[in-house]
Amino acid sequence: MPPARAIAHVDMDAFYASVEQRDRPELRGRPVIVGGAPGGRGVVSAASYEARPWGVRSAMPISRAARLCPHAAFLPVDMEKYQRVSTEIMAILGRFSPLVEPVSVDEAFVDLTGTASLFGPPAGAVAAIKAAIRTETALTASAGLAPNKFLAKVASELEKPDGLVVVAPGTEAAFLAPLPIERLWGVGRVMGQSLRDMGVTTVGRLQALPRDTLVRRFGAHGADLHDLAFGRDERPVVPSTAPKSIGAETTFGRDRRDTRHLHATLRSHAERVARELRDQHLRAATITLKLRFADFSTITRAVSGEPTQDGLEIFRRARDLFDRETLHLAVRLLGVSASGLGPEDAGQLPLLDPGAVKRDRVARAVDRLTDRFGEGAVRPASLLDRDDRDG
């Protein structure tokens, strides 16, 4: 039998807010909320641990966070800075294993299986990773170490901030048993309520149900729930530096209904996404539209086709998705993203559209001008009279 895997999940603590507190000493010990001005219409991207006792959480509307914690420091998102720090952290992880799988800018899985001869027992290696992050970035990370990715992720969340939880091989079911069922992947509000209606409130109670019972009630997802309840997860750690998607979105300064403005916003986002695709020498097969309405309800719609990095083509697909929707409420947020990414030489540009070759040449010329003179130096004529005050 092969030795048990040793998978770590490293998760930075309140990453954006912690970076800001590190760089601005006057914010240390104070509630810090990253996401925008308190009177704005965005959402909380990160809240420091000092803000959390006041009920502030990520993805909460900024306006609500301001009511809950009016004395907090409210800061805009500085993604360029956070990405630089993230690059430093991923480099530290890479010193301990070649198998590092970034999940987002502030978390990653690390496969430490077979590294004991270099770094000692895996638990000691994870402690060394945390110490290196603290020493080199002045930030703290929480970590979980377990025989698989699912358990490592759950473990990393249990003792934040600056925690380290180890799940030893053979203890998987016992570790999970006392936890609430919402700790299982795929158990959201609806699924959680369905399980609670069955009297299942903890993972241990779920473990007591026969697999067939869960399959009859929930189909294929029932089988997945049964496996997760016992801590079974065979997925490998897959190193990846390529993005899974590229997107752009706007939260409007006021809710919008006017189609002309919304179409113009879509075009602007499409051009921004297209430029990033060209910068990374990628094409995208799937275009996704995101709409958030005045009541905070959110929908996404997607369409797939020939891979593209053409801003006009991305706009056309997004606009078609948009035009199929009936706007019963005004729009609060509008976004466009591209996924199904592949190398740019995989597309069949001449076959797609006779005008695409010409647009591609023009777009690359615009890219060079933008690099030289800055964002917005050249843009489609349809955007020249657009009201940009929404940001």
What is the tens place of the pLDDT at every residue in 2-20? 678 999 999 999 999 999 9
Who's near 92: CB < 8 A, 6+ residues apart?
Answer: 129, 132, 133, 136, 137
Beta bridge mates, 102: 108
Q: How many CB atoms lie within 10 A of CB 59?
A: 8
Helix runs in 98-188, H state only? 116-119, 122-137, 149-156, 172-176
User: d(Cα 191, Cα 289) in Å, to the nearest integer?
Assistant: 26
Domains of the chain are 15-79 (3.40.1170.60), 172-229 (1.10.150.20), 245-390 (3.30.1490.100)
Q: How many CB atoms lie within 10 A of CB 12?
A: 25
Which parts of the chain have pLDDT scores under 70?
Answer: 1-2, 241-242, 345-391
User: d(Cα 203, Cα 208) in Å, to the nearest integer?
Assistant: 9
Q: Extract the tokens encoding 263.
A: 């179409």
Who's near 318: CB < 8 A, 6+ residues apart?
Answer: 266, 269, 270, 287, 289, 336
User: d(Cα 38, Cα 74) in Å, to the nearest integer?
Assistant: 6
Q: Catalytic: which of 20, 50, 101, 107?
A: 107
Beta bridge mates, 7: 111, 146
Cα 91 to Cα 85, 87, 102, 125, 338, distances in angstroms: 10, 6, 11, 15, 27
**CB distance 60 to 43 below 8 Å:** yes
**CB distance 52 to 20 below 8 Å:** no
Say whether 107 is catalytic: yes
Q: Extract the tokens encoding 70.
A: 């009016």
**pLDDT, position 115:** 95
**CB distance 151 to 174 below 8 Å:** no
**CB distance 363 to 314 below 8 Å:** no
- Which amino acid is located at 193 in the chain? Q
**pLDDT, position 349:** 44
The pairing of strands 141-146 and 7-12 is: antiparallel
**CB distance 47 to 58 below 8 Å:** yes
Residue 44: which region, alpha, beta or left (left: phi > 0; alpha: psi -120 to 50)?
beta
**pLDDT, position 299:** 92
Who's near 284: CB < 8 A, 6+ residues apart?
Answer: 246, 273, 277, 307, 308, 309, 314, 338, 339, 340, 341
Rounded mean pLDDT of the chain?
88
pLDDT in tens, 175-234: 999 999 999 988 888 888 999 999 999 999 999 999 999 999 888 888 999 999 999 999
Beta bridge mates, 146: 7
**CB distance 109 to 152 below 8 Å:** yes
- Which amino acid is located at 310 in the chain? D
User: d(Cα 76, Cα 144) in Å, to the nearest integer?
Assistant: 30
**pLDDT, position 363:** 54
Q: Extract the tokens encoding 5.
A: 């895997």
Cα of 2 vs its chain's centroid, Å: 33
**pLDDT, position 186:** 81
